[in-house]
Amino acid sequence: MPQIIINTEELVHLEREGETFIFRPQAEQSILDLLALRDTIDAHIERIKEQIARAGVELAPNFRGVTGQDLKAIYRVWGEKFTYDLGFKEPLYAQGFLKPSTVYKVDAKKVEEYCEKNGVCPEGIVSKDRTKKLSFVLPKHEKNAALLQPAINVDEGKD
């Protein structure tokens, strides 16, 4: 089995260097080195996923995944299972296949106006606890992909 040697001292060194980015512009390179390392590992993991999927489909069509001891590899589509044609909205709703969904959002501007005028928030409005977090954005990766996970409902067995 090939041995992967990770110089943890060098990793810690890069981390310590990178932390000083706000004081030293040359610290950027340490961050870029760590990001490049992460990208290399991610690329290997992506190729593993592709190969498992390919091997699974070659074994038999409609492959869905492999479960091991501590790892589950799932090969499936994500997101909502169905959508509907707007032209059929009324009959589908009449047949019970659609349900109306009402989404309420706080009008932040109106809440802030109320707070300024009254010194307190309207009853029932709660400030959300938002933690600031730093993220790295690379110019070529500025679009973010959303990954939706399906809910799992389980039916009963047979014996």
- Sign for the CA dihedral angle at 41, 47, 50, 51 comes to negative
Do 150 and 78 form a contact (C-beta atoms < 8 A)? yes
**One of 53, 56, 98, 125 touching another protein (CB under 8 A):** 56
Report residue 121 as tokens.
Answer: 């928030």
Shortest Å, Cβ 107 to another protein? 40
Longest Cα separation, the chain: 70
List the end-to-end C-alpha distance of the chain, in Å, as a whole number: 43
74 binds another protein, rule: CB under 8 A: yes
Nearer to another protein, 68 or 139 (CB): 68
**One of 2, 25, 61, 119 touching another protein (CB under 8 A):** 61
95 binds another protein, rule: CB under 8 A: no
147 binds another protein, rule: CB under 8 A: no
Nearer to another protein, 60 or 120 (CB): 60
Do 53 and 63 form a contact (C-beta atoms < 8 A)? yes
Residues of this chain that bind another protein (CB under 8 A)? 56, 59-70, 72, 74, 76, 152-159
